[in-house]
Amino acid sequence: MERYVWELTRELAALGHRVGVLCEETFVPEPPPGVEMFPLGSPWRRPRWVSYLRFSRRVGRWVEDHPSEPWLVHSHERTGNHQVTTFHGPPFAPVRDRPLWRRTSLRVAAYLWMERREVCGPKVRAVVPNSRVIADQLRRYYPDAAARMADPIVPGVVPSPVRPSRPVPGDGGIVGFVGYEWRRKGLEMAVRIAKGLARTRPKMEFWVVGPDPEEVRHLFRDFGGTYRLLGKAETADLYHRIDLLLHPAAREPYGMVVAEAMAAKVGVVISDHCGVADTVTERHGSVLSLQDPVEEWVAASRRVLERSDPFPGYDRTWKLVAMDYERLYRSLTPVPSSEG
């Protein structure tokens, strides 16, 4: 989320808007031209729901103390003084479907109250999901907010080195997986897919970026092929070196690593639980169901590795994201400024 907010802020300012950022603290020595930073102080970090409430109150006080400023308030947090909010992750509301004993606590009540206020508050004019997956969930759990639900505005991608057009050896290739939350992002499934590929590609390598190597090493006990557990490596230096990205995630509101891989002209094979799946065409790779047999995932991955024509890439700059928001702001109110 922080990358989304920062890149959007810079590009809105570059388009000529005055942008103010309300935050706990600032880590930039000099904000970009056109950007004003308003640090409100760091509340307690734990428990997190108390931290959210305290920050929300500080935002509310700041807005009340600046009544003459013609700000359009665009929130990316659980606040209540905004006209626009961007939803970056899955809503908390599905907790209502759980057994009573799992949803009866002060913490759960606070999260549900903050989320409803964020989506359905009296000042809210637009709720912007960052993927179709999130949009569908918000419509399900907050049907009374349907009229203010905007079309998804998906993240941009920062340019990185592009994979050169090169043939993949019939007995090799480099397959990658990126994900710190490796369980949710499907590493166990990815290992099974890579293991299936290695049966006919004995020189293939499987690279895993994100999790602590010791935390996932047990998944490779009977892998049989070559693998590398890279830990917290820099992904910008990874994509152009691999030939395929696997992302069989069980729950993925968007899937930034997929967009980054496509931008680097790397083929992808992902699950339909990823919000980014809407942008993956047959030219980029394949989208499969987690209910499909592993053999189908292996076959789809093999087709990507055997392709001779180059992948098309994915061009979604942060300037385009800012222009999407600019159109949204103008449809709501003629005020000249925006605030994140």
pLDDT of 131-165, one tens digit each? 999 999 999 999 999 999 999 999 999 988 999 99
pLDDT, tens digit, 9 for 90 and up, residues 37-57? 999 987 667 788 999 999 999
Band (pLDDT 50/70/90 cuts) for residue 336 is very low
Helix, strand, coil tally for the chain in percent (to 5): 40, 15, 40
Whether the per-residue pLDDT at 337 is higher than 70: the answer is no
Whether the per-residue pLDDT at 62 is higher than 90: the answer is yes
Band (pLDDT 50/70/90 cuts) for residue 104 is confident
pLDDT at position 43 is 64
Whether the per-residue pLDDT at 210 is higher than 80: the answer is yes
Whether the per-residue pLDDT at 257 is higher than 60: the answer is yes
Burial of 134 (C-beta count, 10 Å sphere; 0-12/13-18/19+): buried
Instruction: State CA 53 to chain mean position distance.
Output: 24
* Residue 288 DSSP SS3: strand
Structural element, H or E, at residue 190: helix 187-198
> What percentage of the chain has pLDDT greater than the value 70?
96
Instruction: Output the CA angle 37-331-59, nearest 5 degrees.
Output: 30
Whether the per-residue pLDDT at 267 is higher than 50: the answer is yes
Of the two residues 335 and 19, the one the predictor is more confident about is 19
Q: Report the mean per-residue pLDDT for the chain.
A: 93
Band (pLDDT 50/70/90 cuts) for residue 333 is low
Give the domains, in start order, of the chain with CATH numbers. Answer: 2-156+317-339 (3.40.50.2000), 174-306 (3.40.50.2000)
pLDDT, tens digit, 9 for 90 and up, residues 161-186? 999 999 999 999 999 999 999 999 99
Q: Is the pTM of this model over 0.75?
A: yes
CA distance readout (Å), 184 to 228, 247, 320: 20, 10, 30
d(CA 135, CA 80): 20
DSSP lists the bridge partners of residue 229 as: 208
pLDDT at position 338 is 52
Out of 70-84, 108-122, 140-154, 324-338, least confident range: 324-338
pLDDT, tens digit, 9 for 90 and up, residues 20-36? 999 988 877 788 899 99
Mean pLDDT calculated for residue range 56-76: 91
Strands 244-247 and 267-271: parallel
Burial of 224 (C-beta count, 10 Å sphere; 0-12/13-18/19+): exposed
